[in-house]
Structure 1
């Protein structure tokens, strides 16, 4: 059985100076006129895509930690509502700026506008995208960087570059989603992408100079496919994942699920007149059927010499990516060694009476709520802290602010799935190999002393993981002596189950 589908594409290359000087926080304002334009990134099929200010790919956004960001979004699509989510930002104190429709905001109808106004107080590599149904794979997705004047690695690189990998579909999402969740697709096979892209093209080049060290920021903004990434003849030194600095870790290959981000240093060769291939390869294990014409790979190049040829990437026999579970945060935050509240989410894919295949958490699949979660939070007074008010088709958990919360995700499905938690990053305290079945708390687990932290994590096929976080970011909740934060599962824009955290923060199964 294939897997999850959700998340994103775009970005312009950024060449930035080695370290950024400290500066007084600025107010950075962007006007986003969101509308239809034409695009053909793989050169095989021109189609309508969602652009900003008449352009696509979308712009790379650069901010500095401490900046106030104002995004004036104007919906010029004409035929679709829209929204914006700034993926990975905690939005602590600005929960209403997070973007999930029905959870923290209403959809922005055609012809209407919304202003997003928040402060970026966390550095790192992020991306932005529509949070309305499956809209972002139609082009409404881009990369943004929050630069850090106090980056602990600032003296170790000369220049900085940001770029993306993604999958690409020749058909628009509304039709693909209708066919995906349908009695005509009883196995739940996700639509297979038509191409892989690197920085929204298949001819991406990066001009480099011998001996220099570059800080690459890489984001998978694709809809479905995880991607293996490597650079021929060069090693990568990982220093960041999902906005969290890590102790340096060297590798030849990384794997990015949709929505994951990596920051890594690459030192160029001292003398070279040759150019080198950078390769990204879609994870074909996610596809139920691999079309015989599909090329899962996309190649870019490190260009030492613009007059030299672009070499064809060498074939490899097997993928051996770095295990992100082994990463250690640079700040050394120790394991949360006690848990105030723990719950399980058991994931499965199953058919309902209509013959279509759906995703379930704890035997509950997504049903569009008659009353959106946001309305329930704002109108039920003290009852907003009672899980029952959110309905029978939502897995709701009420958390006390400050509690250490543990979520155990059991994957009763034969495919990999990425999950994203809004409003927090989390400690990954355990991840089982494929085929391990459900998590057993009574087993003798060996947890890391300082677990890897990130906000998007993959569960292995028929495996499990356990994550922990501090519930320190309450959202739009009703007045309460305990100031609860809550977690609502199955708030989703695209038709399969998702998890959402209350006040309300989504933990999303990334699937169309």
Structure 2
């Protein structure tokens, strides 16, 4: 691995593979592996990633969790920061590895994340907090598996008048590190203290994670280190990352029946939250499903990996359904996907400024005039393919376009984007951030914005901010957190908004650029549950940003 300040150079070839003998589904893969190869760097290294597209379709890669300060055109968001990389073309991404922690990379176009374009990205900090608690580490990247392709089958069915209720495609299985249930063996390599980096790369599912007989000591949420927070299980929503360590000296084997030999392995469990799915998964047969043998096969929400205590890869001697997951005290489980009770490791440096601005975003999902289910933010559904929008006043307007990304429009017409400045409203004494009615919100540079997400949908939604992380102040599940943790809120880049509830976050807009803010459930993002934050157009130019000719040629 490169030393601090070094260049980390890699070549990523994007192509398809068929890695499973029982499936003919072609997976979109990086360097012919699923998940893609581990990308490692040290904090503030310069990453130079050459991406070669060998697909028959355009592609792009989003570096999830990276701030891209000074490199806003490297975020990989089609329509916002770049045009997609055409077939048989290539693009070089160059950016600083920051902030440190557990990040990941994935596709951001044509449902390619669902179809396999994912991989882990670990940025090692100059000083690793909590390192004294573990001796080795393992990455567990969990994802939904679909028997059908998102690009050709799932998206076209989901976004059609045949599906006015907006039933999201239900996964057919769960995979972790590319392996199906009870086929992944995790070695301890004789270590007693192990850090697990859990990355939820699922298109839809939220999971409860636990390890039989062991307590989990959480040390990181997204890319924020926290003081060790002990639980028996925790919930992780789509796109979130959680690190925890276990101490095998704490293993409680009281769940192992007396009439079986002592176990030399234990189960690692990912249990999908059934409440996320709009149908009864025990009997649901999707309308698009292709008959296979045996047929039908219903989705099993419990995934089991095996932690091999002696590296012999033996199965546990106890029945999987006999144990209470986690420690013997199930009350230690944390059901809050935001883990608001986890406290920042660096509280002294966690200076939280008072809000200067306000934005309320109301989340709804309902059919449009064509009877196609769409996601709406403040009654606007976002569509990055609309390049024909016109302004009745005739003035130049900020367009959502695959051909002219928002970032290019900021650089070309920074003062003529057609987005109103903040105004005082009845909702708050603070100036309210305004939009142009097309999902583009203009943020003054340096503003401290309290964003309230009001979820009028029954489902829980994980919202991710590109280019910025934010403090989670409180949610309807933990309203007391605003006062309880005042001055010591935890930063994340994904907030899980409870169903029929709300979440309040605080964001400092100190990173000029065009940044997407969207639900990370892939189906909802494609249905338009997304907005764009336009931050500091003039500051963007003052920092020396220019449109690169090598990127513009893709448009």
| TM-score, normalised via structure 2 length | 0.78
Pair 1:335–1:65, CA change in 2 (3 A): closer
Counterpart in 2 of 1:474?
Answer: 512
* RMSD (Å) for aligned C-alpha atoms: 2.9
SS in 2 for 1:136: coil
Query: Is the Cα–Cα contact under 8 Å of residues 373 and 527 in structure 2 kept in the other structure?
Result: no
Counterpart in 2 of 1:138?
Answer: 115
Residue 327 of structure 2 is aligned to residue 294 of structure 1:
no
SS in 2 for 1:378: helix
Q: CA deviation at 1:493?
A: 6.6
Whole-Å separation in 1 of the counterparts to 2:437 and 2:536: 16
Counterpart in 2 of 1:241?
Answer: 221
Query: Is the Cα–Cα contact under 8 Å of residues 236 and 252 in structure 1 kept in the other structure?
Result: yes
Query: Is the Cα–Cα contact under 8 Å of residues 139 and 198 in structure 2 kept in the other structure?
Result: yes
Residue 225 of structure 2 is aligned to residue 188 of structure 1:
no
Range moving further from structure 2, 115-124 or 267-276 = 267-276
- Cα displacement string for residues 79-122 of structure 1 (whole angstroms, at most 9, x for unaligned residues): x1000100011111111101110101111111111100111132
Range moving further from structure 2, 206-215 or 491-500 = 491-500
Pair 1:253–1:487, CA change in 2 (3 A): closer
Pair 1:308–1:35, CA change in 2 (3 A): closer
Pair 1:351–1:63, CA change in 2 (3 A): same
Query: Is the Cα–Cα contact under 8 Å of residues 465 and 517 in structure 2 kept in the other structure?
Result: no
SS in 2 for 1:342: strand
Range moving further from structure 2, 31-40 or 405-414 = 31-40
Range moving further from structure 2, 360-369 or 69-78 = 360-369
1:68-467 equivalent positions in 2, closer than 5 A: 68-78=46-56, 80-174=57-151, 175-202=153-180, 203-208=183-188, 212-269=192-249, 274-289=264-279, 290-292=281-283, 293-305=298-310, 306=312, 308-311=314-317, 312-314=319-321, 320-323=333-336, 324-332=339-347, 333=349, 336=352, 338-367=354-383, 368-370=385-387, 371=399, 372=401, 373-384=406-417, 386-387=419-420, 393-433=437-477, 446=483, 448-449=485-486, 450-467=488-505
Pick 1 or 2: higher relative contact order, CA cutoff 8 A, min separation 6. Answer: 1
* Structure 2 residue runs without a partner (length 5+): 252-261, 284-297, 388-398, 422-433, 538-555
1:13-92 equivalent positions in 2, closer than 5 A: 23-40=3-20, 44-78=22-56, 80-92=57-69
Whole-Å separation in 2 of the counterparts to 1:194 and 1:490: 22
Whole-Å separation in 1 of the counterparts to 2:360 and 2:167: 26
Whole-Å separation in 2 of the counterparts to 1:66 and 1:76: 30
SS in 2 for 1:188: coil
Whole-Å separation in 1 of the counterparts to 2:109 and 2:274: 27
Counterpart in 1 of 2:255?
Answer: none
Q: CA deviation at 1:255?
A: 0.9
Whole-Å separation in 2 of the counterparts to 1:489 and 1:418: 8
Query: Is the Cα–Cα contact under 8 Å of residues 382 and 531 in structure 2 kept in the other structure?
Result: no
Q: CA deviation at 1:385?
A: 7.4
Pair 1:408–1:386, CA change in 2 (3 A): same
Pair 1:328–1:366, CA change in 2 (3 A): same
SS in 2 for 1:125: strand
Pair 1:504–1:216, CA change in 2 (3 A): farther
Whole-Å separation in 2 of the counterparts to 1:488 and 1:322: 24
Q: CA deviation at 1:377?
A: 1.8
- Cα displacement string for residues 312-335 of structure 1 (whole angstroms, at most 9, x for unaligned residues): 423559994353011211111557
Q: CA deviation at 1:363?
A: 0.8
- Cα displacement string for residues 220-240 of structure 1 (whole angstroms, at most 9, x for unaligned residues): 011110111100011110010
Whole-Å separation in 1 of the counterparts to 2:313 and 2:367: 56
- Cα displacement string for residues 425-459 of structure 1 (whole angstroms, at most 9, x for unaligned residues): 1111110039x9xxxxxx99635221121110111
Query: Is the Cα–Cα contact under 8 Å of residues 134 and 173 in structure 1 kept in the other structure?
Result: yes
Pair 1:307–1:345, CA change in 2 (3 A): closer
